[in-house]
Amino acid sequence: MEIELIFFRVQNQLFGIEVKSINRVLTSSINKKTKKIHLEEAEIPIIDMGAYLNLNNHKTNGKKEIIVVELDGVKKGLLVDEILMVLNLNLDRVKLLPPFIKNTAKKDYFWAVAKLEDELVLLLDIRKLYGFGNW
């Protein structure tokens, strides 16, 4: 079994999201204060991933890229610094995070960790962006 992932950079940190939850990607020169964008005559709220992941000391101006995710027909835009690549990983290179870590963290942003050639990448839990609990 394989899982298809897209990897992106926020500041110097690498994170991943499942491709199946992504609607599309686009570029936009917007800044931190921009809360919404218009896409196909619909308003989509933007989440600044730097602020969301408490990596807030980076510059927000300049060229950014947006990943549009979709869950149950509701779209949300994730503001990231750069989209790097799309990869298919074998499932044995992906491990769920143990409940111990999930409970001790103040917010549980992540659901698993993927192993690339020489580093570990945290995979973002999309459901938490929509206000769901554990699954």
Partner 1 sequence: MLKTAVRKKVIYAVSIFMVLGVIINAVYTLLSIKFTTERLKILLTITAIETPILIGLAIWLIILWFRPIIHFLEEMEEKEGKSSETLAQEAREALVQIPRRIVVLEFATTFIIGLSAGAWMRAVYGHLSIWESIAIFLSTFINSVNVSIILFYLTIRFRAPILRLAFAAERVEEKKHKVGLGIGFKTQVAVQSLMLLSLFLGSVMFINFTANTLEDRVKIEANQLVSDAADKIDLLIELKKTDKKSLADLVRNTKLGEGGFSFLLDEKRKYLVKGEKDLPLIKILDVHRPGYQEDVANGIYIAHTPIKKLYWTLGTVCFMKDFDAPITKMWSLLLLFTLIILVVGFIYAYFITTDVTIPIHNLIKSSQRIADGDLSHVVTVVTSDEVGLLANISNKMMHNLRKSMEDLHEHAQTRSLEKNKLQDNIKKLAVVIENAAHGDLSQTVNIEGAEELSQLVTAFNKMIEDLRNLIHQIKEASIQISSAGSEILATAQEQSSGSSEQAASVAQVTVTVEELSSTSKQIADNADAVVKIAEETLQSAQTGQDGVQDVIAGMEKIKETTEAGARRILTLGEKSQKIGEILEIINNIAAETKLIAFNAAIEASRAGEAGKGFAVVAAEVKKLAGNVVDATKTIREIAIEIQTLSSQSVMAIEEDVKKVDIGVGLAQKAGESLEEILDMVDQTTKSAKQISVATQQQRTASEQVVSTMHEIAEVSKQSAASSQQSITSVSELNTLAEDLKRAIEKFKLEE
Task: Please report, as ranges, the residues that interact with partner 1 according to CB under 8 A.
Answer: 4, 6, 19-20, 22-27, 63, 65, 83, 85-86
Which lies closer to partner 1 via its Cβ, residue 42 or residue 57? 42
Name which of 119, 45, 117 is nearest 79 in CA terms: 45
DSSP-derived pairing of the beta strands 120-124 and 110-115: antiparallel
Which lies closer to partner 1 via its Cβ, residue 65 or residue 108? 65
Which lies closer to partner 1 via its Cβ, residue 67 or residue 129? 67
In the three-class reduction of DSSP (H, G, I as helix; E, B as strand; rest coil), residue 55 is classed as coil
CB of 105 vs partner 1, minimal distance in Å: 29
CB of 68 vs partner 1, minimal distance in Å: 10
Which lies closer to partner 1 via its Cβ, residue 22 or residue 113? 22
DSSP-derived pairing of the beta strands 22-28 and 42-48: unpaired
DSSP state, 98?
P
* Amino acid in position 87: L
| Three-class SS of 16-37 | EEEHHHEEEEEEECCCCCCCEE
